[in-house]
Structure formats: structure tokens, C-alpha cells
């Protein structure tokens, strides 16, 4: 019997030494998001965020070789300073991973914040590994930005 591969998910946690409102703003404000998102040899070239249920977002990136890639999706739920749920898909040549779902929780910890990223509906163990690495790079960048902002 053949069928669709089992759906995979991952959870990534990071403790950040910044208050929850600052972390949420860094995650949802295009100017700040552009400063910390990604890594891995690509630079963020554009960010659009319509932060409301049903609103869309786009994070466009460009590689040193000129290749472009975008992450796009729709906000399913927005609880300011607390929780975001959004769809996640790559747009770009050679990327056909389908749409997945990301939940980001911002948990307050006495002036600090624990960020919990749950990425669901991934199609393979390899996708889980790649997304896990990507989220770690992103959270490293977020941590560095928050330290810069003081």
C-alpha cells in the first residue's frame, strides 16, 4: 500500500535576554526582521508583513550568486506579544516543498523571553533537519540583534 509520507514536525527553543515586547517587535517589524533573518550565505532583500489574521508576509532573499528565494505565507493567528501562527512556503526555482505551518510562542521569563518555534507539516526527515538548521541560524541572528539593541 502506498500513500503520502508521514508528516514530520520539529520544535526549536531559545532563551533570549530581552523582554517579550522587544522580541515580538523584532519578529514582526520588517526593518528589524530584515536585520536578523536567515544567514547561510543569503541576504534579506525585502520584507513585507501584514500582521493580522489573514494577512500575508514575504521574506525575499538573494544569494551571492544572484539566486533569489522567498518565504511566503499567511497569518492564521496573531496574539500580540504572545503567539504567532502562520503558513510557510518557499518560492523560488527548485523549491517545491509545499506549505507547512509554523507556531511561534513568546514566553515571558522575568525580563527575558523563551521563544518556542514549532514547525509542522514537514514532508521528510531531511526537511526536518534542514528547517532545524535554518531556525537555529535565524534564532542566532535574532539573539545578536537583540544584544545590539540592548
How far, in Å, CA of 131 to CA of 18, rounded? 24
How far, in Å, CA of 34 to CA of 28, rounded? 10
From 3-7, 75-79, 116-120, 129-133, the region with the lowest mean pLDDT: 3-7
Judged against a pLDDT cut of 50, whether residue 21 lies above it is answered with yes
Domains and CATH numbers, the chain: 8-40+79-149 (3.30.530.20)
Per-residue pLDDT, 1: 47
* Mean pLDDT on 18-32: 97
Per-residue pLDDT tens over the stretch 65-116: 888 889 999 999 999 999 999 999 988 766 666 899 999 999 999 989 999 9
Segments of 8-145 assigned E as strands? 8-16, 42-49, 56-63, 68-79, 83-91, 100-109, 112-122
Say whether pTM exceeds 0.85. Answer: yes
Assess contact for 107 and 126: CB atoms under 8 A: no
* Mean pLDDT on 129-147: 93
What average pLDDT is seen over the chain? 90
Judged against a pLDDT cut of 80, whether residue 32 lies above it is answered with yes
Which residue would you say has higher pLDDT here, 93 or 134? 134
Amino acid at each position: 500500500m502506498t500513500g503520502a509520507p508521514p508528516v514530520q514536525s520539529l520544535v526549536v527553543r531559545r532563551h533570549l535576554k530581552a523582554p517579550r515586547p522587544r522580541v515580538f517587535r523584532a519578529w514582526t517589524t520588517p526593518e528589524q526582521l530584515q536585520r536578523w533573518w536567515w544567514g547561510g550565505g543569503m541576504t534579506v532583500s525585502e520584507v513585507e508583513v501584514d500582521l493580522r489574521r489573514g494577512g500575508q508576509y514575504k521574506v525575499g532573499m538573494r544569494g551571492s550568486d544572484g539566486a533569489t528565494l522567498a518565504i511566503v505565507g499567511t497569518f492564521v493567528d496573531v496574539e500580540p506579544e504572545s503567539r504567532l501562527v502562520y503558513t510557510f512556503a518557499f518560492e523560488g526555482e527548485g523549491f517545491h516543498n509545499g506549505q507547512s505551518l509554523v507556531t511561534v510562542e513568546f514566553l515571558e521569563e522575568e525580563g527575558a523571553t523563551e521563544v518556542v518555534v514549532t514547525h509542522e507539516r514537514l514532508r521528510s526527515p531531511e526537511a526536518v533537519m534542514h528547517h532545524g538548521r535554518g531556525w537555529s541560524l535565524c534564532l542566532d541572528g535574532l539573539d545578536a540583534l537583540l544584544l545590539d539593541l540592548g
